[in-house]
């Protein structure tokens, strides 16, 4: 998992903890439904972003990226 995906996963887990245990965040026994709906939508979006980040780069895209970097000096 990339560092960025790891960071997003941590955000996802924190959002899930708010949805699952709203009282731990001072929201009473249950969070207001609009807040829960928003947090769940954010979790769904984050999940999709994380999944997309985990997908390997298609070979054609990789070739394109490498050819664009061909003129860049290599740092030693």
Query: What is the pLDDT at residue 51?
Result: 87
Domain coverage including residue 11: 3-69
DSSP string for residues in 42-67: HHHHHHHHHHHHHSPPPHHHHHHHHH
State the pTM of this model: 0.65
User: Is 74 within a domain?
Assistant: no
User: Is 44 within a domain?
Assistant: yes
**Pairwise CA distance, residues 56 & 47, whole Å:** 16
CA atoms in the 13 A half-sphere facing the CB of 31 = 19
Query: What is the pLDDT at residue 39?
Result: 94
| Domains contained in the chain, number | 1
User: Is 37 within a domain?
Assistant: yes
User: Is 52 within a domain?
Assistant: yes
CA atoms in the 13 A half-sphere facing the CB of 32 = 3
pLDDT per residue of the chain (76 residues) written in tens, 0 to 9: 778 888 899 999 999 999 999 999 898 888 899 999 999 999 999 999 988 887 766 666 666 666 666 666 666 6
Q: Residue 17 phi/psi, 5° resolution?
A: -65, -35
What is the residue whose two structure tokens read 């954010």?
Answer: 42
Query: What is the pLDDT at residue 50?
Result: 87
């Amino acid at each position: 998992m990339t560092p960025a995906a790891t960071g997003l996963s941590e955000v996802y887990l924190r959002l899930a903890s708010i949805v699952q245990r709203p009282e731990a965040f001072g929201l009473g026994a249950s969070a207001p439904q609009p807040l829960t709906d928003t947090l769940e939508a954010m979790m769904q979006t984050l999940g999709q972003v994380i999944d997309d980040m985990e997908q390997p780069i298609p070979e054609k895209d990789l070739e394109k990226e490498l050819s664009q970097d061909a003129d860049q000096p290599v740092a030693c």
